[in-house]
Amino acid sequence: MSSERGPATRRAKASGAITPRTTARGVTKYEARVSAPGQGAGLRRQYGKTFTTRADAQRWLNTELAALSNGMASADPSMTLRRWLESWLAHTNLRPTSRRSYRDLMQHHVIPRLGSVRLVDLRPGQLNEMYGTIMEDSNVAPLEGERPRRPVSPATIHKINAVLRSALSDAERDGYVPRNVARLTRLPKKVAPPRQWWTVQQVHDFTEATADDRLAALWVLLLRTGLRRGEALGLRWIDVDLDTAGPGTYPQARVVQQITTVGGVATRGEPKTDNGRRVVVLDGVVVAASWPTAPPAASTSPRCRSSASAQRRSRPASSTRSCPAGAISS
C-alpha cells in the first residue's frame, strides 16, 4: 500500500543586510535592515535601524536575526514607548484615579524624555539616566516668571518605575519585548518622611472650632474612625447599623464603596484595597454628632442626598444632620 506525500514546504527564514548611506554632509552611516516572515502566507515585514559604525550595525543585525531564529522576535519592532504607554493607559483595567495619576506621571516625566525610543531598544541604563535627570531638573531654580518647581522625591521615582514595570510586563507578555527592563533598574533609596499626628488637645480644639460647621459630623467621623475621605463620603443608609439591642452589639458602618473625584467629576468605586472592605464601629461621640436627637431607623430613613447644600434646601436647618456623616443615596 503506497501513500503519496505532497511537496515539502520550507519555513521562511529571516534575512538581513547592511547598506552604507552617505548624508548630505558627507558622513557615512550604516543602515541595517531585516526581512522577516510576516503574518500570512508569502507575506514579509521589513524594519531597520541606522548606526554610525558598521560594527554596531552588524551587532544589532546579529541580535535581531538570532531573536527571529529563536522565536523571540518582537511582535512589532517599530512600537515606541510613547505608543505603547498611550495604548496601555487607555485599555488597561485601572481605577479612574489610578489611570489619571499614571497618565500624569508618564506624560510629565517619561514620554518627553524616552517616548520616541522603540520598546526593543529600551535598556535599563536609559531608565536609570532618566530617573537621575528627573530629580536633577526638579531641583533647578525656576526662571524669572516661572512657578517654583516641586522637588521630585525618591518615592516619586519609585512610582514612575512601578508604572513602567507594569506596562512593560504586559509588553513582555504580548511579545513586544524579550524582557522587562524596568525590573533591572537601580532606584534611589526611599526615605520615609516623619509622621505627625494631632495631639488630643489639637483634636479637641478642632472639634470645638468646627462644632457649628455644616460638615461637623463628617469631621468627627473622620477623626474617630480613621476612614479615608472617599470612604466617608461613600457611606449610605444601608451601610449603617445602629441596632444596639443585643448583648455585645455596637453601632457600626460597613465600608463597601468610596467616592473620589477624577478631573473634577465625582466617581463612585470600590475601596482602594481589598482590606478596605471592612466594618467600622461607631462610638457614642460619632453617633451623637451625627444624630443630636434619637437616631432614625435606617430602614425608614429618607434617602440622603449627595451634597449638604441639597439637604439644606429640602429640609429644615434643624434636621440637616439626620443622615450619617457623608452619606449619599444608594
The pLDDT tens digits for 62-101 are 888 877 776 665 667 788 999 999 999 999 998 888 999 9
Q: Over 60: is that where the pLDDT of 319 sits?
A: no
Q: How confident is the model at residue 57 (pLDDT cuts 50, 70, 90)?
A: very high
Q: Which of 42-56, 81-95, 306-320 has the highest mean pLDDT?
A: 81-95
Res 309: pLDDT? 36
CA atoms within 13 A on the CB side of 282: 26
Judge if pTM exceeds 0.85. Answer: no
Res 128: pLDDT? 96
- Which amino acid does the sequence have at 107? Q
Q: How confident is the model at residue 313 (pLDDT cuts 50, 70, 90)?
A: very low
> Of all residues in the chain, what percent carry a pLDDT higher than 70?
78
Number of residues assigned to the chain: 330
Average pLDDT of span 289-296: 63
Backbone angles phi, psi at 38, to 5 degrees: -100, -175
Q: Per the structure block, which three cell numbers stand in for 250?
A: 455596637
**Per-residue model confidence as pLDDT tens digits over 112-133:** 999 999 998 999 999 999 999 9
Res 173: pLDDT? 86
Q: How far apart are CA 268 and CA 255, in angstroms?
A: 13
Average pLDDT of span 229-246: 84
Q: Per the structure block, which three cell numbers stand in for 62?
A: 546579529
119, 176 Cβ separation under 8 angstroms: yes
Q: Per the structure block, which three cell numbers stand in for 19?
A: 547598506
State the Cα angle at 230 between 225 and 236, rounded to 5°.
80
First to last CA, the chain: 77
DSSP count for the chain of H helices, then E strands: 11, 8
Q: How far apart are CA 78 and CA 181, in angstroms?
A: 17
Q: How confident is the model at residue 42 (pLDDT cuts 50, 70, 90)?
A: low
The strand pairing partners of 213, in sequence order, are none
Q: Over 60: is that where the pLDDT of 296 sits?
A: no
Res 291: pLDDT? 72
If phi over 0 gives left and psi between -120 and 50 gives alpha, with beta otherwise, what is residue 263?
left
Q: Over 90: is that where the pLDDT of 155 sits?
A: yes
Residue that is written with C-alpha cell 505608543 in the block: 83
Res 318: pLDDT? 35
Res 192: pLDDT? 80
Res 301: pLDDT? 40
**Per-residue model confidence as pLDDT tens digits over 167-219:** 999 998 888 888 899 999 999 998 887 888 899 999 999 999 999 999 999 99
Q: Catalogue the E-assigned strands of the chain.
A: 15-22, 28-37, 44-51, 240-241, 252-255, 258-262, 265-269, 278-281
Res 293: pLDDT? 52
In the chain the domains, ranked by start, together with CATH numbers, are 15-69 (no CATH), 81-184 (1.10.150.130), 200-319 (no CATH)
